[in-house]
Amino acid sequence: MARPEPFDFNRSTFLYAERISLEKLPDESLVRQAHTFWRGLVDAPALPARSDFTPLDVPRPILPWLFIMEVLREPGGRLDYRYRLAGTSNVSVVNRDPTSKLASEVFKESDRAFMLKSFDITVTGAEPTFWDAAVPHERIEKVDLWRGLFPLAEDRMTVDTLLGIAVPKKIWH
């Protein structure tokens, strides 16, 4: 896997995403488990397709943290993303369900470009990206999390779907 470019999208002390390498994720991270699942769907270098799995195939510990987004290619090369699935734990952490909504509608205008850029990097690079990030939270100011974005392609080359996982660094019980 290629070493990531040093992208740092600092927006404020309560919302940031810094691209990291897979090796920087803790060994027990659910993002690592998601990567193992994704890579196990098809032999490298081909990209897995959304049709390669059903939710029943996804390892149980990671399923509630996943989200799936359809890649929408707009005129002029602009990309947008439609949420097709958002896991229950993911919805609970951010306190909203983005299912069926466009990413460009879900994020506030001040944060939209910042968030879409991380999705765009994964699509244009056609390889997984990993992130040390934080999102604002109504009750506790912010949630620090690990995030992974995994490209899917029905033709095995052109990314048409993103499989994502965002898991708090500290999971409350």
Query: Would you place residue 2 in the very low, low, confident or very high pLDDT band (cuts 50, 70, 90)?
Result: very low
| Within-domain flag for 86 | yes
> Which helix or strand (DSSP H or E) is residue 17 part of?
strand 16-20
| Within-domain flag for 82 | yes
158 vs 69: CA distance, rounded Å: 14
State residue 106's pLDDT score.
Answer: 81
The CB-side HSE value for 21 (13 A sphere, CA atoms) comes to: 7
> Which helix or strand (DSSP H or E) is residue 88 part of?
helix 88-94
| Within-domain flag for 158 | yes
143 lies in which domain range?
Answer: 16-40+60-168
| Within-domain flag for 8 | no
Report, as an integer, the average pLDDT of 13-40: 89
State residue 116's pLDDT score.
Answer: 84
State residue 138's pLDDT score.
Answer: 62
In CATH, what number is assigned to the domain containing residue 133? 3.30.450.20
- What percent of the residues of the chain are helix, what percent strand, and what percent coil, each to the nearest 5? 30, 30, 40
Report, as an integer, the average pLDDT of 160-167: 96
Bigger pLDDT: 55 vs 11: 55
Longest dimension (CA), the chain: 46
| Within-domain flag for 49 | no
The rounded mean pLDDT for the chain is 85
State residue 91's pLDDT score.
Answer: 83
- Whole-structure pTM value: 0.86
| Within-domain flag for 173 | no
| Within-domain flag for 87 | yes
State residue 139's pLDDT score.
Answer: 64
| Within-domain flag for 76 | yes
* Region of poorest pLDDT, from 63-67, 80-84, 142-146: 142-146
Total structural domains in the chain? 1
